[in-house]
Structure 1
């Protein structure tokens, strides 16, 4: 089945959504988050910044949840 709404999205949005999904999978796997995790606009903007900077989802999870020195 073809998802017309999904296919109408720009490739950037598709890639960003996949990146955030991988980010969440890793964050859950290592215990950074537990369901339900609410993705609000501030979190989404921060994650998009990590995506734009070229971080991997694993690096993004470490940056997001890491200790600030």
Structure 2
């Protein structure tokens, strides 16, 4: 099995994958989702946006699953 660090992926992608993994762990711990959670393209793009603006994984989970006022 090949890990991200040795796969030749750009650092941005490695960091994004780690962020999404942390986001998922937080979302499960907070009770927002139960495993397995299927990540579709639209969700991945939305999460990448949260990552790009500098939200923490916990902030990203709250933004993703929070209610809209």
- Tell me which stretches of 4 or more aligned residues in structure 1 moved more than 3 Å: none
Residue 30 of structure 1 is matched in structure 2 by: 30
Distance 1:52 1:9 in 2: 17
Number of matched pairs:
67
Query: 1:1-69 residue pairs with structure 2 within 5 A?
Result: 3=2, 6=4, 7=6, 8-69=8-69
Q: State the Cα distance separating 1:36 from its structure 2 match.
A: 1.1
Superposed CA deviations along residues 14-68 of structure 1, whole A, max 9, x for unmatched, are 0000000000000000100101100000000000000001000000000000000
TM-score norm. by structure 1 comes to: 0.91
SS in structure 2 of the partner of residue 39 of structure 1? coil
Over the aligned positions, Cα root-mean-square deviation in angstroms equals: 1.4
Distance 1:52 1:58 in 2: 14
TM-score norm. by structure 2 comes to: 0.91
Q: Which runs of 5+ in 1 are unaligned?
A: none
